[in-house]
Amino acid sequence: PEKLAKKTQAKVVKLLQRMLLQYSESQRVKQYLFAVVSSDMDSDVAGVLRLFQPGCTFDESIHTFDVEEELYTKQLSLFLRDKSNRKPFIQLYASNNIGMGKTWKIQEDIKECQKERKLENICVRFNSSAIDWKWTVNTFWQYHPCKFDQTLEDNTNNIRKKKNQTASPEDTLVIYHLDISPCINQDMNDFLFQLLYLQHIDTDCSSFHVNPNMAFFIEIPSQFDSLEGNAKDILYTLFPKSNFPMIAVDEFNNPFYFGKKAQYCIKWIKELNEISKISPETSGIDPDKIDDLSREDIISFMESSFEQLMQSSPLNYTIFFKFLFTQFKILANSKYLTNKQQFQYKQEATKCATAIAQELFANTTAKRMTLNSACAES
């Protein structure tokens, strides 16, 4: 307060007296907390607020006040359905091991929410130790028809165009995927405190305010590049006494999805094996023209052919099949391997590529286990 100009300070004092000391006005005021940070406790502003000081004793009732419960709902279903009493929602995603597919799990959970309600999905990535506050705020407002860098006329036109197409910004549900990378530093707590507790972020040229129509799915890294300790020690803002809902991502609640590349690789190997039993001559194999396999058939094939891969993480699966897909695609599309006499070469090349992929998988698994062990010790 001592930094305020006398004229401004007088206006603040008058405003506080009207809002807090006039009975009719004070009855309309919601719960509030004033914190005065001042080197001059005799200033006029501090003097007005000192009237409330005797009643502010830190007894048990204050200690049991659940800030998180006041600010947020603890149930995703209420956030999606309860429009009249809606509050923002926070859900954390963590895993004890690296490469368990937290990003994939979040994307799948958002898709499930979209089946129930039409909503916006915005991913905000923190891939640096320094936070770009301006870029982050602009990304948060990405769904809104009004933009900071546009004129009032342009924003008005945008609102008119979207008026009949979508719900109003206040009624549009937004789920933010906050992807926190291992390279962040302690400044991340400052950002999270402003976002989740003050529910307001200010930059030099823009600001963002958390509204009841917003949910935050926060991806927590399993390890940190330059900070010692676990996630609870480093990102302490996310782990208050009254815990936010958390999903521990593992191979059971987030099994690997055998997508197009995995299907392509498995169909290539199976078809090659089948042909070798019938006839060593073939004019070509095109996995894209073969019907996709069921998950049960894939699991059965993996257990018989790649047993050591069955207990791996989604990251290992992804690396394994991405490598094989590239190799098999070359074999399938090569114009030099289209005649019937090249079957044996395809077979040998497939065996070599598979052996290399398994070795790559083994090295990745060993590295992952070392990192997980280091995380557990920390």
Give the confidence band of 158 by pLDDT, cuts at 50, 70, 90: low
The tokens 């891969």 sit on which residue?
309
E strand spans, the chain: 89-94, 119-126, 173-180, 200-202, 207-209, 214-219, 246-248
Chain CA centroid to CA 356, Å: 33
Tokens of 288: 């894209």
Do residue 101 and residue 223 come from a single domain?
yes
Q: Could you say which DSSP state residue 211 is in?
A: -
Contact between 217 and 106 under an 8 Å Cβ cutoff? The reply is yes
CA distance 254 to 101: 7
Do residue 21 and residue 167 come from a single domain?
no
> Residue 255: inside a domain, yes or no?
no
Q: Are strands 207-209 and 173-180 parallel, antiparallel or unpaired?
A: unpaired
pTM greater than the 0.75 cutoff: no
CA distance 121 to 14: 44
241 CB neighbour count, 10 Å cutoff: 8
Do residue 130 and residue 242 come from a single domain?
yes
Which pLDDT does position 56 carry in this prediction?
47
User: Which residues have CB under 8 Å from 361's CB, separation 6+?
Assistant: 308, 309, 312, 316, 319, 320
Do residue 57 and residue 78 come from a single domain?
no
Tokens of 7: 């004229």
H-helix or E-strand spanning residue 157: helix 152-163
Last residue of a domain, one of 194, 216, 248: 248
Contact between 312 and 369 under an 8 Å Cβ cutoff? The reply is no
Last residue of a domain, one of 20, 36, 63: 63
> Residue 85: inside a domain, yes or no?
yes
Query: If you average pLDDT over residues 336-360, what whole number do you get?
Result: 80
Report the range of poorest mean pLDDT among 149-153, 306-310, 313-317, 371-375: 371-375
Give the confidence band of 192 by pLDDT, cuts at 50, 70, 90: very high
Domain that holds residue 42: 6-63
The CATH number given to whatever domain includes residue 139 is 3.40.50
Which pLDDT does position 306 carry in this prediction?
86
Q: Could you say which DSSP state residue 197 is in?
A: I
Closest CA to 222 of 250, 192, 245: 250
> Residue 254: inside a domain, yes or no?
no
E strand spans, 47-172: 89-94, 119-126
Exposed e or buried b per residue across 79-110, where buried means at least 16 C-beta atoms within 10 angstroms of its C-beta:
bbeeeeebbbbbbbbbbebbbbbbbebbeebb
> Residue 182: inside a domain, yes or no?
yes
Q: Could you say which DSSP state residue 186 is in?
A: T
Do residue 181 and residue 267 come from a single domain?
no
> Residue 1: inside a domain, yes or no?
no
For the chain, counts of helices (H) and of strands (E): 15, 7
> Residue 278: inside a domain, yes or no?
yes
Query: If you average pLDDT over residues 54-82, what whole number do you get?
Result: 74
The tokens 């958002």 sit on which residue?
110
Closest CA to 320 of 332, 305, 335: 305
Give the confidence band of 58 by pLDDT, cuts at 50, 70, 90: very low
Contact between 193 and 239 under an 8 Å Cβ cutoff? The reply is no
Do residue 85 and residue 230 come from a single domain?
yes
CA distance 213 to 141: 13
Closest CA to 93 of 103, 84, 83: 103
Last residue of a domain, one of 248, 274, 291: 248
Tally of domains within the chain: 3
Task: Please write the tens of the pLDDT for every residue from 209-268.
Answer: 999 999 999 999 988 888 888 889 899 999 987 789 999 998 888 887 888 999 999 999
**One-letter amino acid for residue 195 of the chain:** L
Contact between 90 and 245 under an 8 Å Cβ cutoff? The reply is yes
Do residue 124 and residue 229 come from a single domain?
yes
CA distance 214 to 119: 10
Do residue 126 and residue 220 come from a single domain?
yes
Report the range of poorest mean pLDDT among 118-122, 145-149, 163-167, 183-187: 163-167
Do residue 300 and residue 333 come from a single domain?
yes
Do residue 154 and residue 189 come from a single domain?
yes
Do residue 350 and residue 227 come from a single domain?
no
CA distance 78 to 85: 9
CA distance 177 to 135: 15
Do residue 47 and residue 80 come from a single domain?
no
> Residue 253: inside a domain, yes or no?
no
Contact between 221 and 232 under an 8 Å Cβ cutoff? The reply is no
Give the confidence band of 40 by pLDDT, cuts at 50, 70, 90: confident
> Residue 139: inside a domain, yes or no?
yes
144 CB neighbour count, 10 Å cutoff: 16
